[in-house]
Amino acid sequence: MTDELEDVRRTVADLAAGIVCAYVANNRLPLSDLPKLIASVQAALNGLPYGQQPTAAPDLKVTEAQIRKSITPDALISFIDGKLYKVLKRHLRMHGLDGPAYRGRYGLPPDYPMVAPSYSARRADISRGIRSNRSRP
């Protein structure tokens, strides 16, 4: 029984280390907050009943300033992982979301773009070029 308990403890520690590493790799974090992050992840994992899946993330509302900062001309900054994307569709699908669900989860307006403005403009130019070539004899 003690060996099984020790294996579970090692597994929880490995999972906590992996989660913390992934978070720190994708987010800015002051060095002084690292011990708190490790402790909270460890506590969260220890609090899960063995074999039970964690519940879905709660809906997080973002401020208007964060929304404005997330839309750059060349990319959109995801509220899920903070990375830059030209198109959010595939990224959202990997997290089990679609456009309306993503907007709802983070309190985004209904007209929040799912494609970076410059990428959308470039695709529109390509489409116009294709249409104008078709109309020529």
Q: Assess contact for 46 and 8: CB atoms under 8 A.
A: no
Q: Tell me the pTM.
A: 0.53
- Averaged over 25-35, what is the pLDDT? 85
pLDDT of residue 44: 79
CA-to-CA distance for 17 and 23, rounded, in angstroms? 10
- Averaged over 99-104, what is the pLDDT? 92
Q: Assess contact for 112 and 67: CB atoms under 8 A.
A: yes
Both tokens of 66, joined, read 């964060």
CA-to-CA distance for 121 and 117, rounded, in angstroms? 6
Q: Where in the chain is the domain with CATH 1.10.10.1550?
A: 57-137
In terms of Cβ atoms closer than 10 Å to its own Cβ (0-12, 13-18, 19+), residue 105 is: buried
Domain 57-137 indexed as CATH 1.10.10.1550: yes
Closest C-alpha among 61, 60, 86, 89 to residue 72:
86
Mean pLDDT, the chain, whole residue set = 83
